[in-house]
C-alpha cells in the first residue's frame, strides 16, 4: 500500500484541523456510576451530543474536503442506516452540493426525517445496510454520482479517528478505549491513531452479538460475510466489514467483545437514569461491554457513537430495561372467587411498597371458581431484592405466587 493511501499521523492531523470546522466539542465525562460498576475509572466520550447526533460527520466532512470540485459537483451519494446519512447530508450542505442517501427500510423515522431536513434526497431500499449499499452503488453508476462509503474508505476512517486525538489531549494517560463496531470505519481510525500516539493504549472493539461480522472476520483472517444480522443496534447491523480498513483492525485492535441485545437494553436504562443522556443502542455497545472487560483500576474511555433514536424505540427499550432490572414484574396468584380477596392481595403488596400497574382476572383457570381464580398482577418494584420480598410475602399468605413473562 502506497504512503498516500495509508492512514498516517500527518493525515490524522490534517483531518483534525478540517473537522474542527463542523464538529462540536464533546469533552470527556467521568462516570461515577460505571466506574463503581466496573472497578475502573470510566470516562464517556459523548459523540451522541455531536452535530447531527453522531460521530459520522467527522469522516463525511473530511472525505468530502479531500475531493476535487469536479467530483463534488457531480453530486454525492451514500448508503447508511442513519448517522452517516446525516453526516454526508450536513457536509454536502456546507459545500453547497446535492446529496442522495439510500437508507434501509428499517431505519428509524427520526434518522430519515433529520436527513431530509439537512437537504438530502432520501431513498429507502433494502432491509439491511448491505442491500441499501448495493442500490446506492447502482444509482451512482447510472447517474454519475460520487459514492461516499460510510466505513470502507481510508479518508472516512481517518476523519473518524480524530476522536482519538481529542481523547488523548484530554486524558493522555488513558489505558483503554472501547469503540463500537459496525463496518469498522470508526474502530480502524481510532485504533490506528491511538497506537500512533501511544502503542501501549489498548483499543477494544465492541459488536452486537447478532451482527458480529468483524469478530468472524478476525477469526478467519479475512473479510467474511454473515448470512444475516439480527440486532436492535441498527447502526451497527452490518453483514460485511470493510476490506480496506480490515488490515488496520487486525493490526491495531487488541480485542473484540460481543454484546447481547439484552445488555444494551439495560445499558440504555443506566445511561438515562445516571447521566440523563439518550444514547442509541449502537452507541451503547462500549458501555455494555464494560462488565466483560478483564481489568481493574484502569482509565477507560467509552465512545458513545450516536444518540439518534426514535421515541417509540426509546419507550420500548425503557420498558424492557425496567423488566430486566426487576423494576417491573408480573406475578400470578390463585385465590378464591369471593369478595375481599383482591383487597387482601393488594394489601400485602401495598404494605411492602409495591405499586400495581395492571391487573388481569381469569375466572376460568379452574372449573371450581370457589376454589381458585387466577389474578395476574403487574407491578413496580425497586429491584430484585424488593421483588423477592413481595413474592415471599404472597407465598406466606398462601397465594402460591408464580412469576410470568411481563407484557406491558
Kindly report, residue by residue over 388-405, the tens digit of the pLDDT. 999 999 999 988 899 998
Quick one: pLDDT at residue 56? 94
Quick one: pLDDT at residue 37? 95
- Span 314-328, average pLDDT: 92
> Residue 194 above 80 pLDDT?
yes
Kindly report, residue by residue over 339-363, the tens digit of the pLDDT. 888 888 999 999 999 999 999 887 6
> Residue 4 above 60 pLDDT?
no
Quick one: pLDDT at residue 390? 96
- Span 25-45, average pLDDT: 97
Quick one: pLDDT at residue 1? 46
- Identify the band that residue 232 occupies on the pLDDT scale cut at 50, 70 and 90: very high
The chain-wide mean pLDDT, for the chain, equals 92
> Residue 287 above 70 pLDDT?
yes
Quick one: pLDDT at residue 3? 45
Residue ranges and CATH numbers for the domains of the chain are 3-54+154-321 (3.40.50.1100), 56-147 (3.40.50.1100), 326-404 (3.30.70.260)
> Residue 103 above 50 pLDDT?
yes
Kindly report, residue by residue over 48-71, the tens digit of the pLDDT. 999 999 999 999 999 999 999 999
- Identify the band that residue 2 occupies on the pLDDT scale cut at 50, 70 and 90: very low
- Span 247-257, average pLDDT: 98
For residues 194 and 70, the model is more confident at: 194
> Residue 338 above 90 pLDDT?
no
Per annotation, catalytic residue among 45, 56, 258, 299: 56
> Which of these ranges, 7-11, 276-280, 332-336, has the smallest mean pLDDT?
332-336
Kindly report, residue by residue over 133-150, the tens digit of the pLDDT. 899 999 999 999 999 999
Q: Is 56 a catalytic residue?
A: yes
Cβ atoms 48, 272 nearer than 8 A: no
- Identify the band that residue 83 occupies on the pLDDT scale cut at 50, 70 and 90: confident
- Identify the band that residue 408 occupies on the pLDDT scale cut at 50, 70 and 90: low
Quick one: pLDDT at residue 370? 58
Per annotation, catalytic residue among 65, 282, 305, 387: 305
Amino acid at each position: 500500500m502506497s504512503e498516500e493511501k495509508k492512514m498516517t499521523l500527518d493525515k490524522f492531523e490534517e483531518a483534525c484541523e478540517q473537522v474542527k470546522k463542523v464538529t462540536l466539542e464533546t469533552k470527556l465525562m467521568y462516570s461515577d456510576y460505571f466506574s463503581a460498576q466496573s472497578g475502573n475509572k470510566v470516562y464517556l466520550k459523548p459523540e451522541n451530543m455531536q452535530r447531527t447526533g453522531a460521530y459520522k460527520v467527522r469522516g463525511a466532512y473530511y472525505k468530502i474536503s479531500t475531493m476535487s470540485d469536479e467530483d463534488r459537483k457531480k453530486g454525492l451519494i451514500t448508503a447508511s442506516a442513519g448517522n452517516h446519512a446525516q453526516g454526508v447530508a450536513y457536509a454536502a450542505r456546507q459545500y453547497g452540493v446535492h446529496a442522495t442517501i439510500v437508507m434501509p427500510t428499517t431505519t428509524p423515522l427520526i434518522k430519515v426525517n433529520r436527513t431530509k431536513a439537512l437537504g438530502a434526497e432520501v431513498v429507502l431500499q433494502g432491509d439491511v445496510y448491505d442491500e441499501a449499499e448495493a442500490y446506492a452503488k447502482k444509482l451512482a453508476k447510472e447517474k454519475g454520482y460520487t459514492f461516499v462509503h460510510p466505513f470502507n474508505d481510508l479518508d472516512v476512517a481517518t476523519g473518524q479517528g480524530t476522536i482519538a486525538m481529542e481523547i488523548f489531549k484530554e486524558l493522555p494517560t488513558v489505558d483503554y478505549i472501547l469503540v463500537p463496531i459496525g463496518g469498522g470505519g470508526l474502530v480502524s481510525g481510532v485504533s490506528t491513531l491511538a497506537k500512533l500516539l501511544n502503542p501501549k493504549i489498548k483499543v477494544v472493539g465492541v459488536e452486537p452479538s447478532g451482527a458480529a461480522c468483524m469478530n468472524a472476520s478476525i477469526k478467519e483472517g479475512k473479510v467474511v460475510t454473515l448470512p444475516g444480522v439480527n440486532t436492535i443496534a441498527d447502526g451497527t447491523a452490518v453483514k460485511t466489514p470493510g476490506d480496506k480498513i480490515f488490515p488496520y483492525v487486525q493490526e491495531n485492535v487488541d480485542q473484540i467483545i460481543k454484546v447481547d441485545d439484552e445488555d444494551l437494553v439495560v445499558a440504555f436504562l443506566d445511561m438515562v437514569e445516571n447521566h440523563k443522556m439518550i444514547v442509541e443502542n449502537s452507541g451503547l455497545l462500549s458501555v455494555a461491554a464494560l462488565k466483560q472487560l478483564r481489568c481493574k483500576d484502569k482509565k477507560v474511555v467509552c465512545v458513545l457513537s450516536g444518540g439518534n433514536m426514535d421515541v417509540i424505540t426509546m419507550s420500548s427499550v425503557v420498558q424492557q430495561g425496567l423488566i430486566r432490572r426487576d423494576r417491573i414484574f408480573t406475578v400470578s396468584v390463585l385465590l378464591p372467587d369471593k369478595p375481599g380477596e383482591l383487597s387482601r392481595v393488594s394489601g400485602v403488596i401495598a404494605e411492602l411498597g409495591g405499586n400495581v400497574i395492571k391487573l388481569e382476572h381469569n375466572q376460568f383457570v379452574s372449573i371450581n371458581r370457589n376454589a381458585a381464580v387466577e389474578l395476574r398482577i403487574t407491578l413496580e418494584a425497586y429491584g430484585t431484592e424488593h421483588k423477592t420480598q413481595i413474592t415471599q410475602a404472597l407465598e406466606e399468605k398462601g397465594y402460591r405466587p408464580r412469576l410470568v413473562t411481563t407484557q406491558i
